[in-house]
Each structure stands twice: as C-alpha cells, then as structure tokens.
Structure 1
Amino acid sequence: MPLNQTKIGWATAAAIVIANMVGTGVFTTLGFQLASLQDMGAILLLWVIGGVVALAGAFTYAEIATRLPKSGGEYHFLSRIYHPFLGYLSGWVSITVGFAAAIALAAMAIGSYVAKFLGWSGSSVAMLSILFVALVHSFDIKQSSRFQNILTGMKVLLVLVLIASGFLLPAAAGSPFDHAQGLSFSWSSITEPIYAVSLVYVIYAFSGWNAAAYLTDEIRQPKKNLPKALLGGTLLVSLLFILLQVAFLRQAPPDLLAGKVEVGQVVAELMYGQTGGRIVSFMIAGLLIAGISAMIWVGSRVTRAMAGDYQMWQYFARDNQTGVPVRAIWLQAGISVFLVTTSSFEQVLLYSGFVLQLFTILTVVGLFVLRRRKIGEENCWRGPLYPWVQFIFLFFNVIVLLFLLIDKPFESLLGMLNLAAGALSFAWEKWRYKPAEVEARTKKEAKSKPVDRFVKTSAKKVNT
C-alpha cells in the first residue's frame, strides 16, 4: 500500500494536544489539594506552576521532536538519545501505566460522578465505561472519529460554561473569594513536603502537553508547525485550567471540596441546584468518557508500534480488516480494568505519576545530549531561553520525584517494580529471540506494513 503523503496542520495537532490535556485531573485533583493544604493562594500558585512546567516541557519536546523527527514520543527519543533499552522501558511504561492508568483514573472519576444517581457501585460504572469505549473503537476508524469528535466538542464547551458561571455568579459565602473570607497566602506553605506531593496532582492534570510529539511523522512542516501546536495548545489549556480552579473556589467553601474526587459535581450543585448539578455531573462523565476514548485510541497505537519492533509483543501487532488494532485496544482495556479493581484513585494517580515523570525528566535531559552532539542541527526548531527553560522543568519535576519517594514510598515502590518487570521482559525478548530473526522480521514488515487509516482520515478532514 503506498504511503499517504498528506499531512495534518498545526491547528489539528494543537487540537490533539488540547483533547489530551483536558481530562480527569482538572475536575478531580483540587479536592486532594484541599485535603492537605489550607492556603488558597498557595493552591492557585500550584496551578500556575503546573502551567509553567507544562510550557517548559512543550518548549523542550518541540526542539527534541524536530531534531529526531519520527513519531513515537519518548519511546523513539530515548532509544535514539541513550539506548534502545531505555526506549523499551518507556514503551513498557506507556503500555502498562501511561495510558492504562489514565484510562483507569478517568473511569474511577466517572464512577464517583454518576454511580449514586444510577444506584450502582463506582467500580461497576468504571469497568463498564472502559469496556463500552473499547467496544466502540473495535470496529472502524470512521466510527471512532465521530465518537471522539462529538465528545471532545462537549468537553471544551463544558469547561467554558463552568468558567463563565463561576465568574458571573456571586462568590459563595465561605469561599476564599468571599469578601468576609479573603484569599490567603503564606510562603511557608510552599516549603512543606506535602506541597510537592500536591504538585503531583497538578502535573498529572497538565499531562498531555506532549501529545503532538507522538505524531511528528504526520505533521506538515514539523519544524514550523509542531512547536506552534505544542506551545499554542499548552498555553490555551493552562489558561483554562487556572480559570476553572478559580471558578471552583469562588463557588464552594474549601471544606465542601476537601478530599472529594467529584469536585465538579459539588460545585455544579451549588451553582445550578440539585437537578442542574446532576445534569452537569452526567456531562462531566461524558467529558471523562472522551478522555478514556482518546487514551484507548492513542495508547493502542503505541502498543502496536512496540509490537512491530519486538517479537514478544507480536500478537498485538495485528489489525482487523478495517485497520483497527483490536487486540491492542483490548489489552489496554484489560490492564485498565485490573487497575480499577485493585487500586484506589489516589494510588493509581501517584503510582503512574512517579514513573511517567521519570521518563519525561530523562527526555528533557536528552536535549542537552542532542545539543552537545549537534544532532539534527540542520532542520531543528531551536527553543528560546536554553537552558533556563529546561532547568525550570527539571527543578520542579525532580523535587516532586524526591518527595514522592519520601512521602509516598509504597506507590513509588510500585513504580520501580513496574520498571523491574519491564527490564525482565526486555531481557526475555533478547534471550528468547535472536537478533537476526528480529531484524529480518522488521525489514519484512517495513516493506508491507499498512498505513494507519486514522492518519488518512485525519488528513482528509484537514484538506476538506
């Protein structure tokens, strides 16, 4: 099958970034921050820091992706910069945690929002949500595209409605923006270890800023359009996130939100009443379904890419007759259901946050390696304020990793055990399959591998 040369533009790539960023975290993590922090100014500063760190990451990934212009994200970057072993571990984490944990978290949040209205348990709603979306994506790309586009449109509209309502309605009595209460801030709050752990929740909420870097091959003129997509999408979402948290804090006293996953539902009931709050809760659930859909869609493609490079994953490389990697989709769904049934929301968030941050840190450090070796100098986009942008990213992310190890050793240990399991699977791959066999298979597949129809569908929409 001939390669489709049509590419997507920066606007479509930016939309992918926005769709991946606006998900579970922005509607759920404020409750965990309020459970351990009482300084409202310090909490809002967390969200500003999260936006700055995400932008620093977007600047860095834009340059790395144009220096190493190939789809695959960290899996490709780490393999080229350091060693295929690190790339494999990154791919392993993407398969077992990166997307599966995000799917599980969104499903758990859906359970928190609508289970009590349906009379079901939260875990039952979560599992059914995952299985339903996996089924939707198991037939053809056209159906998947229509499903994703409708839900993503609802997602952005709902965020804008909540922000507008939060600012236009009078501040609730007892909220930090009530005149009698006042917005507090103390520098001592940000020096406490729990502040660094709270930053984990915020950084998780901002995850997805690197989404366009997974699609470098499909972006037209990546040197020009990839930075615009990453930076434009990240900047817009950062602004929306900060405004949404202010809107939440304007409309609800902190004690009503502390420790709650369903923050959006609590605020919606206060703004619109019980019936309106219930409607908004189901709309937020639909938004979270969109997050599950995006992660199952993208994650299954990463799994298929791994399967094309490593013999052990070969079973998941096959598509159905319409070009959908059904086996990879159901692998993602199965891992996500397992996480839903065995872990709490907070454990999954912290566990996935630890290992994902580890690989983004390694990737950002990789830019120093690329610049020193002058790799990709001819056609790359060079980010401004190097190396200070990278130092900002590394400073906050390394602090978070250290405090996670100290304050949440169990979740951190789970993350390291996951890496150990990945290392064992890599060793098994090298021992079980001879390099010559793998090389011959790779060359054979390179000649006959079909193009993902999702790329074709997206490209046609862009040209239309």
Structure 2
Amino acid sequence: MSANDSGASPQRLLSPLGAVAIIVGIVIGAGIFKTPSIVAGITGDVGWALTIWVGGAIISLAGALCYAELATLYPHAGGDYHFLTRAYGKNISFLYGWAKAMVINTGSIALLAFVFGDYMSKVISLGPFSDIYWAIVIIVVLTIINLVGIEASANIQTALTVLEVSGLLAIIVAGVGLFTTPIPSVINPPLFSSTPEFGMMGLAMVFVLLTFGGWNESAYISAELKGSLHTIVRVIVFSLLIISIIYLLVNIALFNGLGLKQLATSKAASADLLGLAFGPIGEKLIGIFVAVAALTSINATMIVGARTNFAMGEDWHGLRKMAHWESSRGTPRIAFLVQSVICLALVGFGALQSDGFEAMVEFTAPVFWSFLFLVGISLFILRAKDQKTRVFSVPLYPITPLIFCIASAYLAYSSFSYAHSKGAVLISLYVMLVGLVALLILRLKKSFED
C-alpha cells in the first residue's frame, strides 16, 4: 500500500521541450569546460581524442536506450529507483534511494554549487567565505523556484539551457573563426600519428563518460511527460544526440583554435580560445558561461533528485511524509525540502575540506557508478521476470546493455581506485553503512506496526 497520504500522484504536465532542457541541462555541466584539455593531454593525439569522445557518446547512448526500455515499461516518478525495486526488491532499491538522497544527487548539487560560488565570487564578493555563501544562496533560491511547480522550474530550466548552449556555441564559433578576430593558423600533427597506451585510453574514457553523466535522470520524468510512452524514447535519444554533437564540435573547435599542444597544457582552454577570438571580453565571458552551466545542472538535478525521495516515501511508511505530492503544482514539496537540507549540510561538509569540489567528486562517483551497473543488470533480470509486451525494446539486445554494463563496472572500479588514492573511499562506505542501519530501523518499525 502506498504511503502517499495526500492521495495525489504525478500528472503529465511536462512538455517534451522542457524534458529535453532538463536532460541536456543535467548532462552539460561545468565538466565540458575542463575535460577536453585533460583528454587531449592523456591521448596526445587529435584523432584518438576525438575517437574517445565518439566512444563516450556511443556508450552513453547504449545506456540511454536501456533506460528508454525500462522507462516505457515502468513509467514512474521514482525512475531507476523503481527499476531496482522491480528487479531486486525494496532492500536494494532503498540503499540506492539512500545513496541518491545522501550522496549522489545531493553531492552533485553541492559540487556544482561550489563551482557556481567560485565564479560568482569573482563577480560579486560576499566576504572571506564568498564561495560558500553563494553556494548556500543558490541552493535556497532554486529550491524555492522548484516549490512553485514543475512548469515554473521547467521554464527556468529551458532558459538556462538556452544560455548554456549559447556559451558553447560561442566556443564553436571562435574555433571555426567565424565573426571573430582571426586566430593565427594552428598546425596539428596528422590524425592517429601516435597511439596512447591502452590504460591511458581507459583513463581518458573515464573523464569523457563523467562529462556525459546525468542522462540516466531522464527516467524520473517518464511519469510526468506529456504524450504517449514513445515520447520519452524520442526525448532521451534526441537529448543525447544534441549533447554528443555539441561536445564533438566543442572539441573540434578547441583543437582548431588552440592546437593539440596548447589545449593539452591549458588550465582554461575555453577562456584561452575566447580570449584569442574576442579579446579580453571573451575571457570574462567564460566565467558567466561556467556559472550558467552550473546553475543549469543544479536546477535539473534538484528536479529529478526530489522524485527519488518521493518514491521512497511511497514505498516506506516510516518516510511517508516525503510522499506528499501537490498535484496542482506538480511537485513533491516535502521531498524537495528534505533534499535542500541535505544539500546545505554537504556544502557545510565541503567547506571544511581543502577543496569542496574535489571532496564531492571523491565520495559520490564510486556509489553512483556501482548502482548504475546494477540498473544495467536489472534490464536482463526484468526481461526474464516480466513478459509484458514492450512499447520499446533495446536494439541489438543483449549487446547494447552489455556495453553499458561493462562501461559502468569499469567506471565503478576506477572511481573506487581514485577515491582510495585520495583516502576518501571510506566516506562512501560509511554513508552506505548508515543506510543499512536506517533500512534495519525501518524494517523493525514495520514489523512492530504489523
């Protein structure tokens, strides 16, 4: 029995355009302004670098197609939390929901809030701890906007995504040389003139897939999207195509405008390119673009993150207050407030670390990729358990989901290795241990009530 006291449930109020804006906004974050330099430095070759980006797009599309099958079969505000419940039962899905609420989504929001705070502090300083104050302010402001309703938050998301994409188009235009100050010609080595070690290729793919991360959140809006069940498939695929094309064009622009050597050694490649093309104003614009990218991802992550809390509230009587859904606004109000409090607590935790951004990365990535691997495996399990007619089936099954599962497993391993090297892996394990304790308490409470 649902724990939703209000009796209200998600309604189909979200337009396809708003859904695309949410997905694109989650994926295209601040990472695209940093990752191209890292990948260029690791590969040391233009051809291999671009191949890695294309490979990242293919792996992400494989995962998105898996999610499209699951989302059309089980449209639910709980997204992949709901898929895990179907495949493994409530215990595993609770731990995932716990991880999303305590580590994955809230950690991503805190991470991006630090990015926003860093850049806004250069524009308007709020004192010695300006970046932390800005991080707090933006979390509170965006929470309020989302409490107004899904239509308001989707409209804000669409506007932010347009601004974000415009910034990336400025980089593309600068690299091509149209409507800008002529850039001295750059001569790059021939494509595939050198081949990096296999291990280095894998490392480059880790960074690329992290930059593509977030498309999985599309499942959370499947129950609120206007149109037929086929609409979510079109939204997911179209969003990934937009993102892939933009990412590839940005990389080509950076190679064309800066060259392999300068791109590989640059600490702020996009700023360097815009500075060459537009002069000093170009370098200043990049700060605005990065801040907007952070804002876009924060807002989109808030939208989907609160829906995990809502789904947990429906499944667990002890968390039933989070299952309150305001149908007139299309928003889970209590779930949003809980998420906001946790995000602010993580900002406080990050403020105590030497680098708040790195701290968030170190303890969110291992948990995220581990559960994403389980979602990939759930497709195989649910194919065997549930013989319902599918509106959409993953093409080239089982090859497509296998590609996704292998990539997720590799990223989980790499993330744990990275966190271990930084001494941060225990934080993730402690969070999950507390989740096990919380699960035990809820189970005991339910047995007493029964």
1:399 paired residue among 396, 401, 410: 410
Contact 1:197 1:404 in 2 (8 A): no
Specify the alignment match of 2:138 in structure 1: 132
Specify the alignment match of 2:235 in structure 1: 229
Specify the alignment match of 2:187 in structure 1: 179
Is 2:158 aligned against 1:149?
A: yes
Is 2:362 aligned against 1:353?
A: no
Task: Quote the Cα distance in structure 2 between the aligned partners of 1:92 and 1:104.
Answer: 16
Task: Please give the secondary structure, in 1, of the residue aligned with 2:20.
Answer: helix
Task: Quote the Cα distance in structure 2 between the aligned partners of 1:180 and 1:5.
Answer: 53
Task: Please give the secondary structure, in 2, of the residue aligned with 1:69.
Answer: coil
2:34 paired residue among 28, 31, 35: 28
- 1:91-143 Cα deviation digits (max 9, x unpaired): 11211222122222322333454544546789632541342342243252365
The residue type equivalent to 1:232 in the other structure is F
Compare 344-353 and 227-236 and name the one that shifted more: 344-353
Is 2:399 aligned against 1:388?
A: yes
Contact 1:130 1:292 in 2 (8 A): no
Task: Quote the Cα distance in structure 2 between the aligned partners of 1:284 and 1:122.
Answer: 22
What displacement does 1:242 show?
1.5
What displacement does 1:195 show?
3.7
Task: Quote the Cα distance in structure 2 between the aligned partners of 1:171 and 1:353.
Answer: 41
Query: Percentage identity across aligned positions?
Result: 24
Specify the alignment match of 1:106 in structure 2: 112
What displacement does 1:273 show?
1.8
Specify the alignment match of 1:77 in structure 2: 83
2:286 paired residue among 280, 293, 297: 280
Task: Quote the Cα distance in structure 1 between the aligned partners of 2:51 and 2:115.
Answer: 24
Specify the alignment match of 1:447 in structure 2: none
Compare 1-10 and 397-406 and name the one that shifted more: 1-10
When residues 172 and 136 of structure 1 are mapped into structure 2, their CA distance, relative to the original with a 3 A threshold, is: same
When residues 352 and 31 of structure 1 are mapped into structure 2, their CA distance, relative to the original with a 3 A threshold, is: farther
Compare 311-320 and 144-153 and name the one that shifted more: 311-320
Task: Quote the Cα distance in structure 2 between the aligned partners of 1:148 and 1:99.
Answer: 17
2:381 paired residue among 369, 377, 382: 369
Task: Please give the secondary structure, in 1, of the residue aligned with 2:396.
Answer: coil
When residues 348 and 259 of structure 1 are mapped into structure 2, their CA distance, relative to the original with a 3 A threshold, is: farther
1:48 paired residue among 51, 54, 60: 54
Contact 2:77 2:307 in 1 (8 A): no
Is 2:72 aligned against 1:66?
A: yes
Task: Quote the Cα distance in structure 2 between the aligned partners of 1:290 and 1:122.
Answer: 26
Specify the alignment match of 1:442 in structure 2: none
Is 2:304 aligned against 1:291?
A: no
What displacement does 1:75 show?
0.9
What displacement does 1:237 show?
0.9
Is 2:306 aligned against 1:305?
A: no
Task: Please give the secondary structure, in 1, of the residue aligned with 2:279.
Answer: helix
Task: Quote the Cα distance in structure 1 between the aligned partners of 2:317 and 2:35.
Answer: 39
Task: Quote the Cα distance in structure 2 between the aligned partners of 1:110 and 1:264.
Answer: 17
Specify the alignment match of 2:4 in structure 1: none
Task: For structure 2, list consecutive stretches of 5 or more residues without a partner in the other structure.
Answer: 1-6
When residues 293 and 122 of structure 1 are mapped into structure 2, their CA distance, relative to the original with a 3 A threshold, is: farther
Contact 1:42 1:185 in 2 (8 A): no
1:300-339 pair list within 5 angstroms: 300-314=306-320, 316=322, 324-325=333-334, 327-339=337-349
Specify the alignment match of 2:252 in structure 1: 246
Q: RMSD value over aligned CA atoms? A: 3.3
Specify the alignment match of 2:437 in structure 1: 424
What displacement does 1:230 show?
1.2
Give TM-score, length-normalised by structure 2. 0.83
What displacement does 1:197 show?
3.5
Task: Quote the Cα distance in structure 1 between the aligned partners of 2:253 and 2:296.
Answer: 22
Compare 219-228 and 117-126 and name the one that shifted more: 117-126
Task: Quote the Cα distance in structure 1 between the aligned partners of 2:298 and 2:282.
Answer: 24
Task: Quote the Cα distance in structure 2 between the aligned partners of 1:183 and 1:344.
Answer: 38
Task: Please give the secondary structure, in 2, of the residue aligned with 1:99.
Answer: helix
When residues 168 and 53 of structure 1 are mapped into structure 2, their CA distance, relative to the original with a 3 A threshold, is: same
Task: Please give the secondary structure, in 2, of the residue aligned with 1:383.
Answer: coil
What displacement does 1:289 show?
1.3
Task: Please give the secondary structure, in 2, of the residue aligned with 1:385.
Answer: coil
Task: Quote the Cα distance in structure 2 between the aligned partners of 1:346 and 1:172.
Answer: 34
Give TM-score, length-normalised by structure 1. 0.81
When residues 350 and 52 of structure 1 are mapped into structure 2, their CA distance, relative to the original with a 3 A threshold, is: farther
1:401-416 pair list within 5 angstroms: 401-406=412-417, 408-409=419-420, 410-416=423-429
Q: What is the number of equivalent residue pairs in this alignment? A: 431
Contact 1:351 1:414 in 2 (8 A): yes
What displacement does 1:350 show?
4.3
Contact 1:75 1:90 in 2 (8 A): yes
What displacement does 1:329 show?
4.3
What displacement does 1:386 show?
0.5
Task: Quote the Cα distance in structure 1 between the aligned partners of 2:281 and 2:404.
Answer: 43
Task: Quote the Cα distance in structure 2 between the aligned partners of 1:62 and 1:215.
Answer: 12
Is 2:276 aligned against 1:270?
A: yes
Compare 130-139 and 243-252 and name the one that shifted more: 130-139
- 1:370-422 Cα deviation digits (max 9, x unpaired): 2222x152243112101111122122222233334445423444333332222
Contact 1:57 1:393 in 2 (8 A): yes
- 1:279-315 Cα deviation digits (max 9, x unpaired): 3322331232122122223323322332343355456
Task: Quote the Cα distance in structure 2 between the aligned partners of 1:257 and 1:109.
Answer: 22
When residues 127 and 86 of structure 1 are mapped into structure 2, their CA distance, relative to the original with a 3 A threshold, is: farther
Specify the alignment match of 1:444 in structure 2: none
